[in-house]
Amino acid sequence: MRRSSQLPCIRSSNSANICGMSNSYEPYPPGTVLADGQYVLTRLLAVGGMGAVYKGTKQSALRMELPVAIKELLPHLSEKKPLVELFFTEAHLHAKLHHSNIVRVVDLFTDRGRFYIVLEWVEGMDLRVLIKTLIKKRFSMPLPVGLFILYELLQALHYAHHVMIPEKHVTGIVHRDLSPSNILLSRSGEVKLTDFGISHAGERLIPFKRVLGKKGYMPPELRDGGLGESRSDVYSLLVCFYELMSLFNPLLQDTENPDFNLGRARPDIPKSLLFIVQEGLLPAVHDRPSSTEMLSMLEQAVARESIPLGSTLLSDFINKIMDH
């Protein structure tokens, strides 16, 4: 629900803690009403290079208030007609994705010359916040919980990489911007992938000098200026998993020759699982397994090692972290 492109993505439970905000962006105050009373902004959550994201409520005919995330295209970008068209094209494409591990698009609207996407609200935290919290509290990530997160995200990628949308003439969607900040973990044990904002845009972003992906999570083919393909997502996901389990991201130290050695950081992880991680992080895109192959490899390894997976384990862990 929240993006960072050229500016870092900033998240907080209250807007006072938000830093790195674009000097040119003036956030709406809490209580701002949008779309003729359909939505009310509660608080600012994040500001990135392309958008600002608020928590808000959707007002129903029965006077029920449903929590939502409301993403605004930054005002100075709203003046660029091709980018506005791209914003809505990508949002319509995201809205066609229906999977339990992908955040739903609820609505699209304009208000006072500004452009918005409404997304389902996920009560919990994103993976970036979880990793920072684990480091701060000196906790380690339990292997079954980490593997469950990986398993759920591979299911999301498997679906996205094979989805067919005939009316859009699309077969398969590549995320291209996968990082901890767009992996959401709910208190009830859900894992959801969000922010498909540049998934199908490809070369259409070049005129806006938009970099595909985030530093520290981009596979070599994206770092070299390519558009990537489905196995680019596999690489980015495995970097996220590596960082979650080791609390360290080698790509932030050395993008040319990152030292991905998860076994050294986590000797408790079985070799069969370490092999899967290494396969997903192979530098040559055509050497990597697809999301479907990764999913099958993970299912077999987890069964072989008799490791329990389930949403209850994740729910208990997230609630422990958030309430600690």
pLDDT digits (tens, 9 = 90+) for 283-322: 999 999 999 999 999 999 999 999 999 999 999 999 999 9
Question: How much is the pLDDT for 199?
Answer: 60
- State yes or no: pLDDT of 236 exceeds 80: yes
Question: How much is the pLDDT for 9?
Answer: 34
- The partner residues of 46 in beta bridges, in order of sequence, read 53
Question: How much is the pLDDT for 6?
Answer: 30
- State yes or no: pLDDT of 153 exceeds 60: yes
- State yes or no: pLDDT of 324 exceeds 80: no
What would the mean pLDDT of 99-109 be, rounded to a whole number?
95
From 36, 107, 126, 177, active-site residue: 177
Alpha carbon 11 to chain centroid distance?
Answer: 13
- State yes or no: pLDDT of 211 exceeds 60: no
d(C-alpha 51, C-alpha 245), whole Å? 30
What would the mean pLDDT of 78-89 be, rounded to a whole number?
83
- State yes or no: pLDDT of 230 exceeds 90: yes
- Catalytic residue flag (residue 233): no
Fold (topology level) of 124-323: Transferase(Phosphotransferase); domain 1 (1.10.510)
Question: Which helix (H) or strand (E) covers residue 127, if one does?
Answer: helix 127-137
- State yes or no: pLDDT of 186 exceeds 70: yes
59-80 exposure pattern, b = at least 16 Cβ within 10 A, e = fewer: beeeeeeeebbbbbbbbebbee
Neighbours of 37 (CB within 10 A): 8
What's the token pair of residue 24?
A: 């040119």
Question: How much is the pLDDT for 198?
Answer: 59
Higher pLDDT, 286 or 17: 286
The overall average pLDDT reported for the chain is 87
Domain 15-120 -> CATH class? alpha beta
List phi, psi (to 5°) of 138: 60, 40
Share of the chain above pLDDT 70, in %: 88
Task: Please indicate whether the domains covering 15-120 and 124-323 agree at the CATH topology level.
Answer: no
Q: Where are the domains of the chain?
A: 15-120, 124-323
